[in-house]
Amino acid sequence: MGKIYYVMGKSCSGKDTIYRRLTERHPELHTIVPYTTRPIREGERDGVEYFFVDQERMEEMQTSGRIIELRSYNTVRGVWNYFTADDGQICLKENSYLMIGTLESYQSMRDYFGKDALVPIYVEVEDGIRLERAIGRERKQIRPQYEEMCRRFLADAKDFSEDNLMRAGITKRFDNVDLEQCLSEIEEYIR
């Protein structure tokens, strides 16, 4: 039986880089592309980072019972939805997977597939470093959205609170101060 190795962490903790590097180093782990109704960002590609769908398509999938987990965020640019669908991407009888998401989505996936199927990989970084990374990333955008960056930063403090981590059963943490060391520790953990 396969596993879903689930990478998560606060924004700008380096989880996207870690996820990308793990997919490169471990092609035996299949990836799961989530869905979103938010606008595509510069450099993103439909079907790679996300499947970008409109509200109507999301509601069709929800009505047909194909949504495993759904999160909605009231952003400074409107409500953005993120979700994982039962769309044929996941077959635990045949494969193991690498996925990236939030603590909330991890818990929903665990509830759907069972506790033994999900392996949490929680990445953390000191908040000051994360904030510096976030500002640097926004500056590179054609239209920086500092308000949204701040909203995400503050929301992460609540979403990944110690109480929420404890309730989700997250006990192992990976400190991403040194990327290569962090990757090495994660790879040892998932062997």
User: How much is the pLDDT for 77?
Assistant: 84
| Dist. CA 109–CA 48, nearest whole Å | 20
pLDDT greater than 90 at residue 73: no
Grade residue 46 by pLDDT with cuts at 50, 70 and 90. very high
> What are the two backbone dihedrals, phi and then psi, of residue 160, each rounded to the nearest 5 degrees?
-105, 35
> Rounded mean pLDDT of 104-118?
95
Angle of helix 179-190 relative to helix 15-25, nearest 10 degrees, comes to 60
**Do residues 95 and 2 make contact, with C-beta atoms less than 8 angstroms apart?**
yes
Q: What is the DSSP string of 40-65?
A: PPTT--BTTTBEE--HHHHHHHHHTT
